[in-house]
Structure 1
């Protein structure tokens, strides 16, 4: 099992952050299916202020490239991503359209 950590910011607006949290209390079943079918075995998102932190645990079948291709071909995932982008903002240094940015591990006990 491999673990990836990613980060992203939300628009710094209390009402938008609350709405974002509400959406994640009832994630659409199609989104959950797209996550689990891609080889992601566990996924958690944490929030501090407007900073999000995601931990993904994946199996050997997972690939960022394949997940991206599948997401682009899935209209429901695209609908979800477009909706979520209203709440999210790119981090400094991100490429155009880039959302979640992979973090580098710098310490492990």
Structure 2
């Protein structure tokens, strides 16, 4: 399954640079949590202060199960708290949600 999500960073070039630096050496425990949750591949792109993430998952992947597992992993919680310093929620994000699922509006070639 493929999911696409969006999030904004605080509009501060120095903070954005620091955020990107952290993503050049993501903590092993965070990478393990991604793998263990059923995420097979993840890519994050940036334009300005907007982030766009694509994740490819196994069929049994669940955002709820990933959130529960992350909540019980102190190292992942530490990473999320650190990343929170750089992030700002999209205005339409639900309370407590950082990344917002995006809706596909176009596909080429189109399905018949």
For the aligned pair, the TM-score class normalised by the smaller chain equals over 0.9
2:42 paired with 1:46: no
Rounded Cα–Cα distance in structure 2 between residues aligned with 1:62 and 1:68: 11
1:81-106: CA deviation from partner (whole Å, max 9, x where unpaired): 00000000010111233100000111
Matches within 5 A, 1:64-79: 64-79=63-78
**What is the CA RMSD across the aligned residues, in angstroms?**
0.7
Unaligned runs of 5+ in 2: none
User: SS state of the match for residue 61, structure 1?
Assistant: coil
Structure 1 residue runs of 4+, over 2 Å off?
none
2:18 paired with 1:19: yes
Match of residue 58 from structure 1: 57
Corresponding residue pairs, total: 108
1:50 Cα deviation from its structure 2 partner: 0.3
Question: Under a length normalisation based on structure 2, what TM-score does the superposition of the two structures give?
Answer: 0.94
1:108 Cα deviation from its structure 2 partner: 1.2
